[in-house]
Each structure stands twice: as C-alpha cells, then as structure tokens.
Chain A
Amino acid sequence: MKPQTYNCPLPGGGDARELVLAFDQGRDMRVLVVPALFDEANRMRRFTVEVMRRLDGAGIDSFLPDLPGCNESLQDIARIEPEDWATAMHAAARELGANRVLAIRGGGLILPPDLGGWHYGPVKGASLIKTMLRARVLASREVGREENLDDLTARGLETGLELAGYALSAEMIRQLQAMAPAPRAGLTVIDQDALDGSPLWLRAEPDESADQADALAAMVAMSIVA
C-alpha cells in the first residue's frame, strides 16, 4: 500500500492534490473505492483498507481517494456540496484508470458516472443526516441545552450546521436529504446480510472484522473472475 495523490477539481475552479491510498501494481482490474461519509468514514476506514489488502492478494489493484474536505484534505468542507464529491471521484477514477467501483455506505451516493462494480451497505442521505442531527440533539441535552430536530433541520437548510464535527453547508444538507442509492446496471448491491456479521458502521467504537473483510473481498474478487 502506498500513499499517493490525485488531482481534485475544486468548486469555483482550481484544483488540489488530495490523498489516495493505493494498491497499484498496474494490474488489469483497478477498483476505485469510494469511502463512507462523515462519522461513518472513521468507523469504516480500517475495514475498507482491510478489504483492499485482500483484493491486492487476489491480484486486484484498488484506490481509496480522500473526498475534498474529509480525512487528510485541507479543503474547507463548508464550501463542498455532494456534487463536488462526485466530481472528485470522477476525476480520481479517470486519473487512476479505475475500471470498477466499490462504494461503502454513503459513498454510493457520490459515484463516478458509468463505472460498474459494487455498493456495500447502501444508505439514504436523509438517514445519515438524521442520525447526525440526533447525535447533536442528544449531546446538547447532556450539557443542558435544548435543541430539537425540526428547528435544527430548518436552521441547517437556511444557514448550514455543524454536525458530528463537520461544518455542513445548507446546500450539502439540502442535497443529501434528497439523495438515495440509485440502481445502476452493472452495480451489484451487497447488503449486510451477505457478510454474516453485525455492521461495523453501527459500532459505538471503531472495530474490525476479518471475517467480514474476507467475505466482501471474496464477493468482489469472485464476481470479477466470473
């Protein structure tokens, strides 16, 4: 595994070099891995890289690019919209020569166009937002501040809102509320049931599961061979 960068177009023009974790040996099969979003990105990152290690062992190259405003990116997430993430993934796919995509959870909402592949653990944008709004309401309550979901949502849609430590723009919240995984020819949906274990994105503490990483990597590798 090697860290490298890709050229990420930025909203309003210009571009930035963003990080990519790459298992690249110039092999035929090249999988772009689109990460989970927000707090789930942290809980799913180790699992995601463990799946990539297994794909590497199975003779498949894979790439995990940063989304602008997330992970190591220096961009201000408050200026980013989901469409910018999709544009970034498109640029990464082209620069890295990816011919398949593996999206994790909310990553399936920002797929590059035209690529087939797999979407593990699909989730609606509205569910991601609602969970983060709830966490904020609960955390505020613990410090004696009353907030409620409806007021926060209205405020978020008007002026943006900090959720789970991310300063989200009004446009980010508005677009995500309406986004749902769309069926795509050549894109296989992999539900949690297929991995035979409990979903790691639900875990209170980041965790790992070698069995689940084996299962997901095997499904990807076998469908490529087939």
Chain B
Amino acid sequence: MTASTDHKLRRLLGDVLGLKPEQTDGFTADTGLFGHLPELDSMAVAGLLTEMEDRFDIVIDEDEIDADTFETYGSLLAFVKAKREAA
C-alpha cells in the first residue's frame, strides 16, 4: 500500500502541476511544495484536496490541514499515509 500511495501521490501532483512522471519521480521528501511552487495557490490546493479524497478514498477535514501539511512532498505523503491507515 505504501509504495502505491507514494506513486499515486506523485502522479496526482504531476497532474496538478502539469509535470511529467520523470519530473515527479525526482521529488524527494524534502522537495518544497506550498510556498515554493508559485503555481500552487489556494485554488490549486483546494482542487488537489478534492482529488486526493477521490483517488485515495479518504475524507479530509479542513482543520487537519495547515501550512506544514503542504510544506514538502514528505509531509504531504505522511499526511496521506496516516489518513489511509486511519480509514
């Protein structure tokens, strides 16, 4: 499950950012997201959240999300994994 969560999350970010798989394959846990990628504004993050709910079959409450969640690829992946384990 862990490997596929990682793979699916990379693909989803690629969809939102318009990046090819070979580019998102290069993401590391420290790759900066919100605040580092100017195109990732509130509308894009909102779309990302809705799509995360669909693709990972989870429900995300806004209170669970803060700036740290989207700080890096690693923090976002950890969030999704925790949500999936709780589901």
Contact indicator per residue, chain A 130-148, by CB within 8 Å of chain B (1) or not (0): 1111111111001000001
In the bound complex, what is the Cα–Cα distance between A134 and B50 (angstroms)?
Answer: 9
By the criterion CB–CB under 8 Å, are B16 and A134 in contact?
no
> Size class of B's contact patch?
20 to 34
Q: Tell me the dominant secondary structure on chain A's binding face.
A: helix
In the complex formed, the residue of B with least CB distance to A165 is B43
Which B residues touch A202, using CB under 8 A? 15-16, 47-48, 51
Q: A137-B62, A148-B63, A203-B16 are in contact. Are A39 and B50 (CB under 8 A)?
A: no
In the bound complex, what is the Cα–Cα distance between A142 and B41 (angstroms)?
Answer: 10
In the bound complex, what is the Cα–Cα distance between A132 and B47 (angstroms)?
Answer: 8
Q: Assess whether B49 is interfacial by the CB under 8 Å rule.
A: yes
Minimum CB–CB distance for A1 against chain B, Å: 26
In the bound complex, what is the Cα–Cα distance between A203 and B16 (angstroms)?
Answer: 4
In the complex formed, the residue of A with least CB distance to B17 is A204
By the criterion CB–CB under 8 Å, are B43 and A135 in contact?
yes
In the bound complex, what is the Cα–Cα distance between A75 and B18 (angstroms)?
Answer: 34
Of the residues A130, A139, A148, A198, contact of B50 by C-beta under 8 Å: A130
Contact indicator per residue, chain B 37-52, by CB within 8 Å of chain A (1) or not (0): 1011111111111110
By the criterion CB–CB under 8 Å, are B62 and A149 in contact?
yes
Query: 7 other contacts beyond A164-B43, A204-B16, A204-B47, with CB at 8 A cut-off?
Result: A131-B50, A135-B43, A137-B62, A202-B15, A202-B48, A202-B51, A204-B44
**A-B CB proximity, top 8 nearest:** A204-B44, A198-B15, A134-B46, A135-B46, A138-B42, A204-B39, A139-B42, A135-B43
